[in-house]
Structure 1
């Protein structure tokens, strides 16, 4: 399979610089809640359409500068895995933005954070990869946290409570799409074929924009809305995507996963501080359990990997 050669463009960064770039990427990701609360007329599928459209447009400009003029010819167009990965990205883009219009930012971000654990679980089913005990414990604890968060408004009546609960269900499309996406990549790599995820992000943006345009029509976004939505597509999605790819060439995968959790923290704090959207108590309680499970699992895995690297393997 033909793939993009990102290794040839790997940055000569120190570990500290790569870590700070990863933190910057999570901060850019986290502005989505604040930005969507500034919109005047755009709603639902139209928000998704414009964000995906501007993301794809930005990547169409970024790729030639980053990878050279022939970059699009090197996309793995004939690979089923590439198209499935793009479809997963499109699902994630759409579910995430639609959920934000239906329920609180904190609830969506915590739900989205389940991605690594769902990926581990799906990998166990699809590839037979054995999960360590710490990951099973994390999956159970995260499930309890999500159950507590989802059950918070079940006893309440009214359209608002129903819409918020449905928004939480829609938000599950993000970690489910992510789990399928990463499992496809793992299986392809196990068979000797690698997939570059950044081109798949571009494909996902194009597919998401194409799918949601009919549902968003007639477009109602004002010039004010378009300015904010272009910020989402470029600075909240396209640019962080590239930054993470570059940082991941320096940082271990476990460290990338740990730092990525900052998006949830930043996102909740920003929308609370700048938009006045305080998370409900059950979201904070359940979210703390989910993030604690994720943090503990990744931290133990990182420490075990670091210890194994320090163990001498015998005489050279």
Structure 2
């Protein structure tokens, strides 16, 4: 009687890993498609991407839950709303950081999400952190201090802090999904994140300049580069540790 559940665990883990890899593949298309946006400036691009993410999530929830879709959103509770707010920070923080600091600094700072996930998993879930991970955390944060110290008067401090908010939000979100994902359906939280991000960027996106072709590309990005992969990541997080999700997520940068 126990052999079947024990055999199911590795299969569940492999499926979760495959889901995160699929999510990373979809996340990675952003650069390819964004290059074809001709008229929409950066903030309008961010707004429409988040808006279409929310629209796509409505469709995904309708397919998954049919008449219970609205009920699933209403059942999110505080954990779901918190996850939605963290998704919104992740959706908007990266673009805001790019306007305030260098692309290199933004990529370096946002790539430490596996380390922040490990740190928050230790603090909030009591998960054991290997010694080598502590070493990497120490090296990463030492590097961040050097980066911030070297640019204290260079006008990029605000951008660096904004960029740092992305891995902090990601680490917290992965931990939240691991802790609450078994009792709360957190897929609707991606919808909340898209709505919050769209509302936050609307004042900066107005007046709209996007062409019909731009809107088609941004609709594709909202659906396939945000909504679908984020929903897959939520499902995978139920069976993976926060550190595993974040580490596999780095393949997006490869």
TM-score w.r.t. the length of structure 2 is 0.77
Work out the CA distance in 2 between the residues paired with 1:104 and 1:36. 18
Work out the CA distance in 2 between the residues paired with 1:141 and 1:34. 32
Determine the structure 1 residue equivalent to 2:195. 206
Determine the structure 2 residue equivalent to 1:137. 135
Judged with a 3 Å threshold, the aligned counterparts in structure 2 of structure 1 residues 39 and 70 are, in CA distance, closer, same or farther, namely same
User: Structure 1 stretches of 5 or more lacking a match?
Assistant: 1-12, 266-316
Q: Please tell me whether the aligned partners of residues 47 and 97 of structure 1 are also in contact (alpha carbons under 8 angstroms).
A: no
Judged with a 3 Å threshold, the aligned counterparts in structure 2 of structure 1 residues 214 and 77 are, in CA distance, closer, same or farther, namely farther
Matches within 5 A, 1:199-238: 199-238=188-227
1:30: how far off? 1.5
Determine the structure 1 residue equivalent to 2:6. none
Determine the structure 2 residue equivalent to 1:177. 169
Judged with a 3 Å threshold, the aligned counterparts in structure 2 of structure 1 residues 96 and 155 are, in CA distance, closer, same or farther, namely closer
Matches within 5 A, 1:1-316: 19-77=17-75, 79-101=77-99, 107-125=105-123, 131-146=129-144, 154=151, 162=155, 166-185=158-177, 194-247=183-236, 255-265=244-254
Structure 1 or 2: larger helix share?
2
Q: Which has the higher contact order (CA 8 A, sep 6+)?
A: 2
Work out the CA distance in 2 between the residues paired with 1:238 and 1:111. 24
Cα deviation, 1:57-103, whole Å, max 9, x if unaligned, reads: 00101111123321221235472222222111111111122234555
User: Structure 2 stretches of 5 or more lacking a match?
Assistant: 1-10
Number of aligned residues: 244
Work out the CA distance in 1 between the residues paired with 2:178 and 2:244. 18
Judged with a 3 Å threshold, the aligned counterparts in structure 2 of structure 1 residues 34 and 102 are, in CA distance, closer, same or farther, namely farther
1:131: how far off? 3.9
Work out the CA distance in 2 between the residues paired with 1:24 and 1:114. 21
Work out the CA distance in 2 between the residues paired with 1:186 and 1:113. 20
